[in-house]
Amino acid sequence: MTIQTLKITSLRNLGAVELQPVKGINLLFGENGSGKSSVLEAIHLMGLARSFRSHRIKPVIQHDHSQCTVFAKVDNRSGLYSVGVSRGTEAELRVHINGSTPSGLHELAELVPLQLITPSTFSLLDGAPKLRRQFLDWGVFHVEQGFHIAWKRMQRALKQRNTLLRRGNIDRSQLSVWDAEFISASHLVDNYRADYIARFIPVWESVLAKILDVPDISLSYYRGWDRSADFSEVLAASVDRDIAQGFTQYGPQRADLRVKIGRANAADYLSRGQQKLVVSALKIAQGAFFTEESKRPCIYLIDDLPSELDKTHRRLVCELLRDLDFQVFITCVERESLADFVGAGPAKLFHVEHGNVMEYDEIQTLANCQV
Ligand SMILES: Nc1ncnc2c1ncn2[C@@H]1O[C@H](COP(=O)(O)OP(=O)(O)O)[C@@H](O)[C@H]1O
Ligand SMILES: [Mg+2]
């Protein structure tokens, strides 16, 4: 999907901003604090109804305003949609898709498939497993139709089971009812994830090979319990410890992805720049796989692409994104480094200054400057 028009109101220092991005690469440049990341934050808000920089919505809303709003016209290949998302200081949320309120946020996520790469992107490699599970589930959700329902079933059974575990006097027959549901939903979730990752790995390998040469790098999936064990036996064997701890220790809620170099953890072995490239390859491959499956392009938000990347790799990443036909929003501070990003193909330049965003007609000049 492609954003054709984007209107942002009262979000951080962006009072009223309107831009017409291109399909292809949109570069936002400007001084620190000018509002570049806030534009990406607005697009993120439109796709996921939340910021990527703050858990709370209040700091995102412009001072002395009661709500922030993002409105966009998007082309989803199946047609044109108008999407509006607004959040109030008390966290109120209003979402409209073509004038109607969707049944849930998954409709928004489905319509606006976003991938985000920021300077703290490394955390996908060295941070908590939850981040990798979210990454994995983004892909499964967008590619496997039944996943969302199976995941919700699994979460509900897990919640009920954990509530029972925390109760002092456990009714084992009640526990076995939730166990049966948890086991059945867990298998479904695991099957969806395992199928997805098996098909995803070759895409990731081919994307990575275009931007980084690291021998013996591998990606594997841990399902949340021993690969060779039967899940009902695992649950039965761990029930006493589960009761003692008050939560379920094994299951899809503990699934993870592991990136290794030989037998070592990639995060312990690679430089920051290499880690950024590995994570970028994961995210770009996920968008490429999604587009291949759904025939819809993905939107990439890349905050401060130059950080940690040298000139050659900046350009390689950009060329890859451009060749995959995504709509990409890239921020950077220095005008000089823009020339590293602008190759052939559609690109638009925006200058951000004190919360104003202006189209900048300098792409051609920059492209001509390239060596
Ligand atoms: N709630 C808010 N209301 C008004 N201005 C804000 C708010 N939150 C942050 N700002 C200001 O908005 C600007 C946004 O910065 P940001 O988008 O991070 O800039 P950049 O990415 O260009 O460095 C900063 O100058 C910041 O001080
Ligand atoms: Mg910024």
Cα torsion angle, 300, 304, 307, 310, sign: positive
Q: What is the pLDDT of residues 229-262, one digit of tens each?
A: 999 999 999 999 999 999 999 999 999 999 999 9
The string of DSSP letters for 128-177 reads: -HHHHHHHHHHHHHHH-TTHHHHHHHHHHHHHHHHHHHHSSS--HHHHHH
Residue 51: CB within 6 Å of ligand 1? no
Ligand nearest the Cα atom of residue 31: 1
> Which residue ranges form the domains of the chain, and what is each CATH number?
1-113+296-371 (3.40.50.300), 121-295 (1.20.1050.90)
Q: What is the pLDDT along the chain (371 residues), one digit of tens a residue?
A: 899 999 999 999 999 999 999 998 899 999 999 999 999 999 999 999 999 999 999 999 999 999 999 999 999 888 899 999 999 999 899 999 999 999 989 889 888 999 999 988 889 999 999 999 999 999 999 999 899 999 999 999 999 999 999 987 788 888 899 999 999 999 999 999 999 999 999 999 999 999 999 999 999 999 999 999 999 999 999 999 999 999 999 999 999 999 999 999 999 999 999 999 999 999 999 999 999 998 888 899 999 988 888 888 988 998 898 888 899 999 988 776 666 666 645 688 999 999 999 998 755 555 554 43
Cα 321 from Cα 326, distance rounded (Å): 6
Mutate to test the pocket of ligand 1, among 38, 120, 304 (most ligand atoms within 8 A of CB): 38
Cα 330 from Cα 251, distance rounded (Å): 38
> Which atom of ligand 1 lies nearest, measured to the CA of 304?
21
Residue 253: CB within 6 Å of ligand 1? no
This model's pTM is above 0.75: yes
Phi, psi torsion values for 201, nearest 5 degrees: -55, -50
Nearest CA to ligand 1 atom 9: 12
Q: What is the pLDDT of residue 181?
A: 96
Nearest CA to ligand 1 atom 16: 35
- What burial class does residue 85 get, using C-beta atoms within 10 Å of its C-beta: 0-12 exposed, 13-18 middle, 19+ buried? buried
The string of DSSP letters for 10-65 reads: EETTEEEEEE-PPSSEEEEE--TTSSHHHHHHHHHHHHHSS-SS-SSSGGGBPTT-
Measuring CA to CA, which residue among 191, 206, 214, 185 is closest to residue 275? 214
Ligand nearest the Cα atom of residue 54: 1
Residue 37: CB within 6 Å of ligand 1? yes
Measuring CA to CA, which residue among 63, 127, 57 is closest to residue 93? 57
Q: What is the pLDDT of residues 59-80, one digit of tens each?
A: 999 999 999 999 999 998 888 9
CA of 74 to the centre of ligand 2 (A): 24
